[in-house]
């Protein structure tokens, strides 16, 4: 796990260094003091095999041992808290939190605190996920799932133009059908971002889908009688307005 994180980090770092070179910037020789304290604390937790619920040294103690200011320690701790690595308890001070890959993400996935590039990346990521779920849907779908999807479609106010809530209900059910809980939660936290970017992009564009557009009823039909590939094609058509926005 740590090793794969290192691999991803090194790829990203290489990319960043290359970008910096392009702009004529020199790579930083030293990371900020907060970054250093954050890294030291991460290593410390790992080396001492802290488990969820274990008490951690307080801000003052850490500041004294590392010989840095309390402000720096406070900032590093607040990052770790934000990421869901540690949490504060009223009487016990700080403790190790239960590991949860999405916990930290849920807190930062707010369209108003993410940068424009991240918003666009998240927007694209959702399309990647939607296109990749076909195999799982076909392997794990049940008769009851299909029935539920049909009910969702039947309750839509309009087949051609579902409301935002109806759109979310339908796609959330598809994610749910993959049987992967992390995946389902992941898409739920992507939704606000997706919506935000899409609205911004669509400004001034007409909302009428082309005649060959595949709506939710069409997707359900393919899911019932088609193949994995049919579904992938249908989903691509369904998501075409979104792909058009990106202009690949
Ligand atoms: Zn849809």
pLDDT of 217 reads: 96
Six-digit token pair at 74? 């406070």
Question: In the beta sheet, which residues pair with residue 94?
Answer: 88
The confidence score (pLDDT) of residue 189 equals 74
CB distance 124 to 190 below 8 Å = no
More confident residue, 72 or 202: 72
- pLDDT higher at 237 or 241: 237
Which of the four pLDDT bands, split at 50, 70 and 90, describes residue 62? very high
**pLDDT tens for residues 160-178?**
888 878 888 898 899 999 9
**CA 110 to centroid of ligand 1, rounded, Å:** 22
Q: 86, 80 in Cβ contact below 8 A?
A: yes
Asked whether residue 6 is domain-assigned, the answer is no
pLDDT > 70: percent of the chain: 75
For ligand 1, the distance from its centroid to the CA atom of residue 163, given in whole angstroms, is 10
State the burial class of residue 218 (Cβ atoms within 10 Å of its Cβ: 0-12, 13-18, 19+).
middle
Single out the residue in 43, 64, 99 at which a domain terminates: 99
Ligand 1 center to 113 CA (angstroms): 26
31 and 137 both lie in a single domain? no
Nearest to residue 36, comparing CAs of 3, 69, 84? 69
Q: What is the pLDDT of residues 116-144, one digit of tens each?
A: 777 778 778 888 888 999 999 999 999 99
Between the CA of 103 and the centroid of ligand 1 the distance, in Å, is: 26
Distance 84 CA to ligand 1 centre (A): 32
Cα(33)–Cα(130) distance, integer angstroms? 40
Are 125 and 208 contained in the same domain? yes
Distance from residue 111's CA to the centre of ligand 1 (Å): 21
HSE-CB at 153 with a 13 A cutoff on CA atoms is 17
| Residue 160 CA to ligand 1 centre (angstroms) | 10
How many domains, the chain? 2
Q: Ligand 1 mean position to 171 CA, how many Å? A: 6
Ligand 1 centroid distance, CA of 215 (Å): 7
CA of 145 to the centre of ligand 1 (A): 17
Domain extent at residue 77: 14-99
Residue 214 has pLDDT above 80, yes or no: yes
Instruction: Answer with the one of 69, 99, 129 that is the final residue of a domain.
Output: 99
54 CB neighbour count, 10 Å cutoff: 13
Residues 71 and 168 in one domain: no
How many A from CA of 16 to the centre of ligand 1?
35
Q: What mean pLDDT comes out for the span 58-74?
A: 94
* 154 in Cβ contact with 96 (< 8 Å): no
Residue 94 · residue 56 · CB < 8 Å: yes
pLDDT in tens, 106-115: 666 666 667 7
- The candidate with the shortest Cα–Cα distance to 111, out of 194, 182, 168, is 194
Q: Dihedral (C-alpha) 65, 66, 72, 75: value to the nearest 10 degrees?
A: -70
User: Do 93 and 36 have their domain in common?
Assistant: yes
| 10 has pLDDT over 70 | no
Query: pLDDT-derived band of residue 1, with 50, 70 and 90 as boundaries?
Result: very low
SS3 150: helix
Residue 78 tokens, joined: 């607040």
Distances 124 to 31, 41, 244, 245 between C-alpha atoms, Å:
31, 34, 12, 10
The pLDDT-based confidence of 56 (bands split at 50, 70, 90) is very high
pLDDT at 156: 94
Q: Is the pLDDT of residue 147 over 70?
A: yes
48 has a pLDDT exceeding 80: yes
**Residue positions counted in the chain:** 248
State in Å: Cα 40 to ligand 1 middle. 45
> Could you tell me if 202 and 148 lie in one domain?
yes
Q: Using the predicted structure, report yes or no on whether residue 32 has a pLDDT greater than 80.
A: yes
Question: What is the pTM for the complete model shown?
Answer: 0.60
Above 70 in pLDDT, residue 44?
Answer: yes
d(CA 215, CA 195): 18
Q: Which one of 77, 99, 121 terminates a domain?
A: 99
Do both 68 and 121 map to the same domain?
A: no
Q: How far apart are the C-alpha atoms of 63 and 121, rounded to whole Å? A: 37
Q: How far is the CA of 217 from the centre of ligand 1 (A)?
A: 10
Distance 167 CA to ligand 1 centre (A): 5
> Looking at the predicted structure, is the pLDDT value of residue 76 above 80?
yes
Does residue 105 lie in a domain region? no
Average pLDDT, the chain: 81
Angle between helices 143-154 and 164-177 (to 10 degrees): 180
CATH number of the domain encompassing residue 85: 1.10.10.10
């Amino acid at each position: 796990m740590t090793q794969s994180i290192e691999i991803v980090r090194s790829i990203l770092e290489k990319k960043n260094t290359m970008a910096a070179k392009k702009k004529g910037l020199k790579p930083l020789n030293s990371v900020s003091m907060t970054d250093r304290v954050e890294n030291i604390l991460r290593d410390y937790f790992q080396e001492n095999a802290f488990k969820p619920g274990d008490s951690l040294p307080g801000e003052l103690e850490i500041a004294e041992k590392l010989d840095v200011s309390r402000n720096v320690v406070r900032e590093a701790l607040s990052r770790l808290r934000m990421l869901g690595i540690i949490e504060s308890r009223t009487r016990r001070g700080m403790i190790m939190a239960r590991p949860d890959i999405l916990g930290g993400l849920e807190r930062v996935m707010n369209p108003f605190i993410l940068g424009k590039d991240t918003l666009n990346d998240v927007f694209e990521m959702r399309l990647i996920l939607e296109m990749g779920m076909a195999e799982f849907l076909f392997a794990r779908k049940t008769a009851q799932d299909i029935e539920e999807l049909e009910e969702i479609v039947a309750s839509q106010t309009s087949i051609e133009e579902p409301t935002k809530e109806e759109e979310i209900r339908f796609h959330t059910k598809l994610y749910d059908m993959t049987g992967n809980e992390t995946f389902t939660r992941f898409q739920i936290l992507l939704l606000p971002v997706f919506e935000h970017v899409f609205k911004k992009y669509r400004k001034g564009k007409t909302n009428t889908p082309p005649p060959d557009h595949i709506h939710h009823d069409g997707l359900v039909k393919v899911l019932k009688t088609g193949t994995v590939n049919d579904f992938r094609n249908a989903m691509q058509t369904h998501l075409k307005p979104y792909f058009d926005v990106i202009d690949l």
